[in-house]
A and B are shown apart, each in its own frame.
Chain A
Amino acid sequence: ELKVEQNPLFLSMQEGKNYTIYCNYSTTSDRLYWYRQDPGKSLESLFVLLSNGAVKQEGRLMASLDTKARLSTLHITAAVHDLSATYFCAVDMDSSASKIIFGSGTRLSIRP
């Protein structure tokens, strides 16, 4: 059974600082997705990573995928308050679109 683990689960950081969220998964996969969720809202797609070494950037967020280490990172650069949200990674185990499995989420709070 595929397990997806994120850490940290909670992160409180100051504006202007950098930090990284980690997503580990237990079986081989070369498809990983990052989502953002605001309280009471839906899951907004941030990044789709489809191969080993994939790196994507959007604004202050950058995501990468290392399929050999079964690890993805979401790096936040010079955080701003608007980035406060819960971030989820999700893994497609067999690239057949049968399902994606989510990590537990990282609740990010950015304070002035």
Chain B
Amino acid sequence: EPEVTQTPSHQVTQMGQEVILRCVPISNHLYFYWYRQILGQKVEFLVSFYNNEISEKSEIFDDQFSVERPDGSNFTLKIRSTKLEDSAMYFCASTGETGRRGYTFGSGTRLTVV
């Protein structure tokens, strides 16, 4: 079964450093997303991406965050200057057919800011 692949699985970074989280969505999907989940809490929407541009973003997705699809397969989330409160699990997701077949989530990147 097709998978959404995320790397790294765990990243530890110092406060103020830049991090890039990487995702390879399912190859024939057109819609891409980033979500985050602070430990033990709900899954929060960050941003959606379609046709090489941001479709929608949440209040969490401020100027410190950016997304990019640098080639035909990768989809990245960059946090420019990490804060302690950015520590969370970050999930990438993708869907085709406007969600009619569901949204597939990657295995996540656990980001720890120290």
Binding site for B on A (CB under 8 A): 31, 33, 35, 41-43, 45, 48, 50, 88, 90, 92, 95-105
Contacts and interface: CB of A to CB of B under 8 A. Distances in A.
Interface of B: 31, 33, 35, 41-45, 48, 50, 55-56, 91, 95, 98-108
A102 B43 contact: yes
5 contacts: A31-B99, A50-B100, A98-B55, A98-B56, A102-B35
9 tightest Cβ-Cβ pairs between the two chains A and B: A97-B98, A102-B43, A43-B105, A48-B102, A97-B99, A97-B31, A98-B56, A42-B107, A104-B42
Nearest to A34: B102
Contact of B100 (A42, A43, A48, A98): A48
A104 B43 CA distance: 8
